[in-house]
Amino acid sequence: MNVFSTWPPFAFGFQAPAPTIPHAGAFIRGSFDDSERVVHYKLFVPSAYCGAPMPLVVMLHGCGQDAGDFAIGTGMNALAEEHQVLVLYPEQSAHAHWNKCWNWYDPTHHQRGKGEPAMIAALTRQVAADYAVDSARIAVAGLSSGAAMALILGRTYPDLFNAVGSHSGLAYGSATDAIGAMLAMRDGASKDILARATPSPGVPVIVFHGDADATVHRKNSARVVRQSVDSRAVSTVEEKGESGGRGFTRSIHAGIDGAVLVEQWTVHGAGHAWSGGSVQGSYTDMRGPDASKEMLRFFLKQ
């Protein structure tokens, strides 16, 4: 008999190597087939991932971007490594939109169980099945068209996403065709159009918008806030400050129970760019408050 086979390895002063966790500390590229189409994505897995449930943030890029560009520009992966959060970056296809914009203005993508919201929700659920994800802490955020789509997801899948981050985006139902989208981006969606949108489900929202944005007018930020607050009784606390060389105004809109409904950041002098982002990515402004840091802080508090 081999006596060593019955003895624990630590009896001789050493331990068996720890099991390897697949993809821990990696930025993985993958694809997902939801039967309607194949969507490519990238997924950041923190090095501390060991199979214990972690929060998940879904990041939706803007027009002309892709997953890698958005990850670099926002710097979200570095924050996710620090706070032990998984980050999923779905990628829009040029076949779905010539400039890789999410089709937020098309009514086909305004409802639960249809179009791009259904596809992104299915991908999110697949990642949550493949990895240990804290189902109570799944948030979605985006820039521009990605922000508009994130807001759609927050309204159509409030059982999946517990918070939304909108940077330079537009409220749900702001347009129903391409011409309407251009008008809403230029002048802000009309109140009549927004009045026809379904009632808000109450998912907390954090909003960033530059008041010098020449692509998506700042009025759209106010529309997002108004829609998210809806008719619920609120109190508003406003503060002004400076960060990264830019001034900002932050407004906290809370419900009658004190719970935060919307946290709104207006970055003074900023254009159509991710506040506090890296110059290595597109549509970023290294000046101003760090939108990624503030969004992640907001998400983890929910």
Report pLDDT digits (tens) over 146-172. Answer: 999 999 999 999 999 999 999 999 999
> Does residue 285 lie in a domain region?
yes
What is the model's pLDDT at position 193?
65
How many Cα atoms are found within 13 Å in the side-chain-facing hemisphere of 11? 7
CA 232 remoteness from chain centre: 24
What is the model's pLDDT at position 232?
80
> Does residue 9 lie in a domain region?
no
Cα–Cα dist 105/21, whole Å: 41
Q: Quickly state the pLDDT bin for 5 (edges 50, 70, 90).
A: very low
Rg (CA), the chain: 21
Mean predicted confidence (pLDDT) in 4-12: 37
> Does residue 43 lie in a domain region?
yes
Per-residue pLDDT of 234-285, as tens digits, reads 899 999 999 999 999 999 999 999 999 999 999 999 999 999 999 999 999 9
Q: Is the pLDDT of residue 6 over 50?
A: no
> Does residue 111 lie in a domain region?
yes
Between residues 12 and 228, which one has the greater pLDDT? Answer: 228
* CATH number for the domain harbouring residue 230: 3.40.50.1820
What is the model's pLDDT at position 234?
85
What is the model's pLDDT at position 9?
38
Strands (E), the chain: 27-33, 38-44, 54-60, 86-91, 133-143, 163-167, 205-210, 234-243, 246-255, 260-267, 274-275, 284-285
> Does residue 13 lie in a domain region?
no
Per-residue DSSP letter, 17: P
Q: Is the pLDDT of residue 7 over 50?
A: no
Per-residue DSSP letter, 10: G
> Does residue 76 lie in a domain region?
yes
> Does residue 7 lie in a domain region?
no
Domain range holding 140?
24-301
Per-residue pLDDT of 185-242, as tens digits, reads 999 887 666 666 665 667 999 999 999 999 999 999 999 999 999 878 789 999 999 9
What is the model's pLDDT at position 202?
73
Give the number of other Cβ atoms within 10 Å of residue 67's Cβ: 23
φ, ψ of residue 215 to 5 degrees: the values are -100, -50
Per-residue pLDDT of 102-129, as tens digits, reads 999 999 999 999 999 999 999 999 999 9
Q: Is the pLDDT of residue 99 over 50?
A: yes
Three-state DSSP state, 56: strand
What is the model's pLDDT at position 22?
62
Per-residue pLDDT of 23-51, as tens digits, reads 888 999 999 998 778 999 999 999 999 99
Which phi-psi region, left, alpha or beta, contains residue 35 (left: φ > 0; alpha: ψ -120 to 50)?
A: left
Q: How many domains does the chain have?
A: 1
> Does residue 122 lie in a domain region?
yes
Q: Is the pLDDT of residue 12 over 50?
A: no
What is the model's pLDDT at position 76?
98
pTM above the 0.85 mark? yes
Cα–Cα dist 274/271, whole Å: 9
What is the model's pLDDT at position 25?
84
